[in-house]
Amino acid sequence: MGAFAGKTVLVTGGSTGIGNAAARRFLATGARVIVTGTRASAADYAGTDGDLAGLEYHQLDQGDLAAVAAFDPGVAQLHALVVSGAKVAYKRAEFIPDTFADVLATNLTGPMALAMKFRAALAAAKGSIVFVGSVASFKGTIGQPAYSASKGGLLTLTRTLGQALGGEGIRVNLVAPGLVRSKMTAITWEHPDRLAATERQVPLGRIGEPDDIAGPIIFLASDAARYVTGTSLVIDGGLSA
């Protein structure tokens, strides 16, 4: 309670899913929370799993470098930058070079651009970055070459920025969720047989919920993790243990 009172947090992809769960938790601890999403306005998220009440919403395509450059949410000091926005393409589309490049732009180049854009504001607050990676940061995903390459890249980016920004007092970490119930994974959990097959493989016996990932994100961004940098935390119910 109040751990982030008076602090400012930015969550990209904070309109739905994991990003929204993290944004709501930051809000509950007293933060000013800015979120981005791809839709024109907060009202456009009516009927999704996102709850934007109390959050400052901005439209941003984080894969568009010009849009990232023009993005101005009005922050002089930023205590946490959470990059949760991401995309994935199904039906073998990621084997098409244009689609591959598009996924990389959103999932890897965009996060780097955001980190550099807010570097000074993060340094001013001795803040931290939390990238949302994936278990695909560590292993191949046969149908998604772009998604896994982008998430693998995000892991090494986390390590490199952890080294490069440590001297400025900026910590950089990554959470690596397993299968979590969100818009992006509906293809798996909306199908009862696929869901049951997946849950049999998870030692804790269930797929993750966005809030299962939000807790660890808040931890990594908080003072409780003030000596943690360049690391990754897998949150997958034991699937990869």
Partner 1 sequence: MNGLNNGSWARGKSVLVTGGTQGIGKAVAEQFLALGAKVTITGTRTRIECYDEPPEGVTYLQADLTWPEARAEIAAHIDALDVLVNNAGRGSANEYEQEEFEHVIDSNLNAVMDLSVRLHPLLKATKGSIVNVGSLASFLALKETPAYTASKAGLLGLTRALGDKWAPDGVRVNLVAPGFIATRMTEGARTNPEREKKLMRAIPMQRWGEPDEIASAILFLASPAASYITGQSLAIDGGLMLR
Active-site residue (options: 15, 84, 128, 134): 134
Q: Which of the 8 DSSP states describes residue 180?
A: B
Retrieve residue 149's tokens. 């390459």
For the CB of residue 166, give the shortest distance to partner 1 in the complex, in Å. Answer: 3
Q: Say if residues 133 and 158 touch (Cβ distance below 8 Å).
A: yes
227 as an active site residue: the answer is no
Note if 117 is an active site residue.
no
What residues have CB less than 8 Å from 19, skipping those under 6 apart?
11, 12, 13, 35, 82, 84, 85, 132
The answer to whether 14 and 20 are in contact (CB under 8 A) is yes
Nearest approach in angstroms of CB 208 to partner 1 is 5
Select 30 or 73, whichever has its Cβ closest to partner 1: 30
Which is nearer to partner 1, 4 or 71 (by Cβ)?
Answer: 4
Binding site for partner 1 (CB under 8 A): 1-3, 25, 28-29, 159-160, 162-163, 166-167, 171, 178, 203-205, 208-209, 212-216, 218-219, 222-231, 233-238, 240-241
**Residue 188: CB minimum distance to partner 1, A:** 16
Residue placing its CB nearer to partner 1 in the complex, 151 or 171:
171
Give min distance, CB of 58 to partner 1, in A: 25
CB count in 10 Å sphere of residue 116: 11
**151 labelled catalytic:** yes
CB nearer to partner 1: give 188 or 231: 231
Q: Say how many C-beta atoms besides its own lie within 10 A of residue 217's C-beta.
A: 28
Contacts of 127 (CB under 8 A, 6+ apart): 77, 78, 79, 80, 81, 121, 170, 171, 221
Residues with a catalytic annotation lie at: 134, 147, 151
